[in-house]
Structure 1
Amino acid sequence: MRAAVEVLLLTLTACTSASAPEVEPTGSTPSSASSEPAPSEPAPSEPALPDPVLAVVGHATEPQLELSRAAYRRIVDGDLDRWRGRDVVAGIRDVERRPGAIAVVPLDEVGPTVVAARVAGVDPVRDDPRAVELVVGGDLMLVRGVPSAAGALRPLARRLRSADLAVANLESTLSRDGAPTQGGDSFGATPALLGPIRRAGLDVLSLANNHAGDYGPRALVETVDVLADSPVVPVGAGRDLAAASRPAYVERGGVRFAFVAFNAIGETPRATRTEPGALSVRMPPRTGPLVAADLRHVAAVVRRAARRADVVVVLPHWGTQYTHEPEDIQRVVGRRLVRAGADLVVGGHPHWVQGVDAVDGVPVLHSLGNLVFDMGPARFPVQAREGVLLEATFWGAELRAVRLAPYRMDPTTYAPRLLGGPDAAGVLADVWGASTGPYARR
């Protein structure tokens, strides 16, 4: 899935050796006499890998720079104030404040609030042998008007399967053993849906949303049980509060991840000590005002998970539908989750992409939009068929990079297809326009 360490080291070594030529000279092989060093000179050796390796970083909202070895050398030599219209500034904090600026920093200082340039085709963060890739998708609803679950998932399946770990929010049941609770907006499937989900490469599914209870408590518990008996791990719902509060623990590449999910929208019952439902936080705009006891409980779950795992990812179902702007209360709750130990917060429910905040360097993504949902053009604007995949790179417990891959769903099959060029830039502009701090496009 990623380049071999030898390729990475050789490329970066070549990039940082100021005396190394871009291309080996052609011609006859030098004679043995000419290749012997003079007695007074040290014997030649392979160029040493710098310690620490240097990275060129740009603003989080800018496309990733693609540098040749020669361009990389010119920038890291330190004798440039500007490069191709970009100011060369002192460090990461300066880049965070200035879109269009770049900086040279030690590779081990690179984090999710900046983007490291690729050098001669090598991404120094994602191609590092320590890298573990987590992909998170948005709201996934594969029934009702979606003609084929397998067909809808197929365009992104390779991207999901290539990650070390792939996660989404399942907006339906896997059982219809009960009466529908939301009329035509009751989303119920059978265990057969698990096949396309698994083949698409998903490893963890959040059930902490306003549709996990669409066919009543028995169907909710059966959905949890179907997933628990499969390779796909459920989180955020269960037969009682203890089960719904239980994090999903998954290990990849020597990194232990914990996922905690909660629903703030209602409709699915709140799990209690004796009744099934979703782990819930009552808060605006749908179930507010904020109930402090609910948030304290979730924060305690996050703290306990942080003691048992290297990385804690929190998946809230929150916010207002059909807007790019997060509610102020989402930012309040996001800060509390980070203080409790969350290393990444990734929200859903609004059906549109929303902005990104950084809380003490931890990204809080308020909504990734729909991954698959039957929101066709007859009733919904194009924003309901647009979203982003979050691609997060960890080195051990450290989050080193976040990238957003924009897509748009087909208006009849609802299959999401990755975008490029102006279309991708348009989706990302909706994200950055509602973001704050280092993720704001000023």
Structure 2
Amino acid sequence: MRWSRSLVAPVATLTLALTACPAGPNPPAGAPARSAEVAAPSSPVGPAEITLAFAGDVHFAGRTAGLLDVPTTAFGPISSTLSAADLTMVNLETAVTTRGSPEPKQFLFRAPTTTYDAVRAAGVDVVSIANNHTLDYGRDGLADTVDAAKAAGVPAVGAGVDAAAAYAPWITRVSGTRIAFLAFSQVDELWSEWRATETRAGIAMTRDLPRAVAAVRAARQRADVVVVYVHWGTEGAACPPAEARAFADEIAQAGADIVVGTHAHLLLGDGWIGRTFVQYGLGNFLWWRNDAYSNDTGVLRVTLRGAEIVKTALVPALISRRTGQSQLAGGQDATRILREYADLRGCTGLAASPTG
């Protein structure tokens, strides 16, 4: 898409110098599968810079359903911002299916397979399907969601035919750096019924803590950089709950380098746990109806030099009240969003810069 990569496994402004934790060695064949802007000084010789981009919740229902009539333009002009990164990830918050029976819950989402055409056209490289809507139409719907992703060539992490698949990372290589992506859900609604087990399809859940931590540790052994995308938090609350903060601590210790999240329907703050960069909430991104807690959103950009995080920045955006698409914010809107975003760190318990 924007560079040549080899697949390894399926399935506001602050400036300071950073140092990186060394990556672990390669394990034997067959082993189980870092706000405001932060910059480091440039070096004339060294690893190539790699840009990762992250955005929030994506739905194709209500006012956004018609966008799939032309999948190539479904995300709108902000696709150029997503495509500019070497790797881009969003949360795909819908079942991709025409089958299945509705689950006993209030909000149900499903979309056609052209969803993945839209995702690819927007420059998205990998999606999280670990959320509280992927099983809205049961395990038939989940199977279709996973199968459609495979058919479209879009890696989808965080759910699968069993726990081994749901907790498996997608690992890819960019400019010699191996990057692993995992996803988990912490939403309590139907979590026990939806969780993946050894014999049952489902979602990778944070509440299966030993399994989730083990998945991060295993990815750490296989990759230079580990990214974890989590569906967590409280809807409408701008501060992360204790459960989210505790899980962030656990996976930081297990080896996660970058942790990003969604679910609260508004922006939450970011910062550091040691040398792990954590972003607690990216808000809505392609939103199905005009009732969001906030239309403020953005694209998080994380710049690596090899396995070292050298810069993080939120590119501010606003959700259109007409189309539900995110659009880059400018002028006073951009200034306001970045100012308010910086203030959100105060209730996260996160540090303003890496430590240790």
User: Do they superpose with TM above 0.5?
Assistant: yes
Q: 1:277 aligns with which of 192, 202, 211?
A: 202
Give the Cα–Cα distance (whole angstroms) in 2 for the partners of residues 63 and 424 of structure 1.
Answer: 17
Question: What is the letter of the counterpart of residue 345 of structure 1?
Answer: V
1:336 aligns with 2:250: yes
2:307 is aligned with what amino acid?
Answer: A
Structure 1 residue aligned with 2:153, among 215, 218, 231? 231
Deviation at 1:302, TM superposition (A): 0.4
Which amino acid is the alignment partner of residue 59 of structure 2?
M
- Which residue of 377, 381, 395 maps to 2:305? 395
Alpha-carbon separation, structure 1, partners of 2:20 and 2:178 = 21
- Matched-pair contact (CA < 8 Å) for 1:137–1:368: yes
- Cα separation, 2, equivalents of 1:114 and 1:412: 31
Match of 1:25 in 2: none
Q: Using a 3 Å threshold, how does the CA distance of structure 1 residues 114 and 171 change in structure 2: closer, same or farther? A: closer
Which amino acid in the other structure matches residue 341 of structure 1? G
What is the CA-CA distance between 1:281 and the residue it aligns to?
2.2
Three-state SS of the structure 2 residue aligned to 1:166 is strand
From 375, 396, 408, the equivalent of 2:318 is: 408
Give 3-state SS (helix, strand or coil) of 1:434's partner.
helix
1:278 shift after superposition:
0.2
Shift of 1:256: 1.3
Q: Sort the Cα spacing of 1:321 and 1:197 in 2 relative to 1 into closer, same or farther, 3 A.
A: same
Counterpart selection for 2:13 from 58, 62, 70: 62
For residue 393 of structure 1, what is the amino acid of its counterpart? T
1:136 aligns with 2:46: no
Measured in 1, the distance between the counterparts of 2:106 and 2:164 equals 31
Q: Find the counterpart in structure 1 of residue 339 from structure 2.
A: 429
Which residues of 2 match residues 234-313 of structure 1 at below 5 A?
234-265=156-187, 266-267=189-190, 269-282=194-207, 294-313=208-227
Whether the 8 Å contact between 1:353 and 1:430 is mirrored in structure 2 is no
Alignment-derived partner of residue 167 in structure 1? 89
AA aligned to 2:48 is R
Counterpart residue number, 1:209: 131
> Runs ≥4 in structure 1, deviation > 6 angstroms?
none
| Same amino acid, percent of matched pairs | 34
| Structure-2 change in CA distance of 1:407 and 1:63 (3 Å) | farther
Which region of structure 1 is more displaced relative to structure 2, 186-195 or 303-312? 186-195
Deviation at 1:128, TM superposition (A): 8.3
| Contact 1:213–1:267 (Cα < 8 Å) also in 2 | no
Partners of 2:92 and 2:183 in 1: CA distance: 12
Aligned residues: 319
Deviations 1:155-187 (A, max 9, x none): 211111121111111000111211222566211
C-alpha change, 1:272 and 1:129, in structure 2 (3 Å) is: closer
**Cα pair distance change 1:331/1:192, threshold 3 Å:** same
| Equivalent in the alignment of 2:276 | 362
| TM-score of the pair, normalised by structure 1 | 0.67
Check whether the contact 1:152–1:413 (CA below 8 A) recurs between aligned residues.
Answer: no
Considering only CA atoms, is the larger Rg found in Structure 1 or Structure 2? 1
Take 1:114 and 1:197, find their aligned partners in 2: how far apart are those partners? 27
Q: Which amino acid aligns with 2:340?
A: D
Post-superposition CA distance 1:286-320 (Å, at most 9, x none): xxxxxxxx212111110010000111001111110
1:137–1:349: structure 2 CA closer, same or farther, 3 Å change rule?
same
RMSD value over aligned CA atoms?
A: 2.6
Give the Cα–Cα distance (whole angstroms) in 1 for the partners of residues 171 and 198 of structure 2: 22
Q: Which segments of 5 or more consecutive residues in structure 2 lack a partner in the other structure? A: 3-11, 22-33
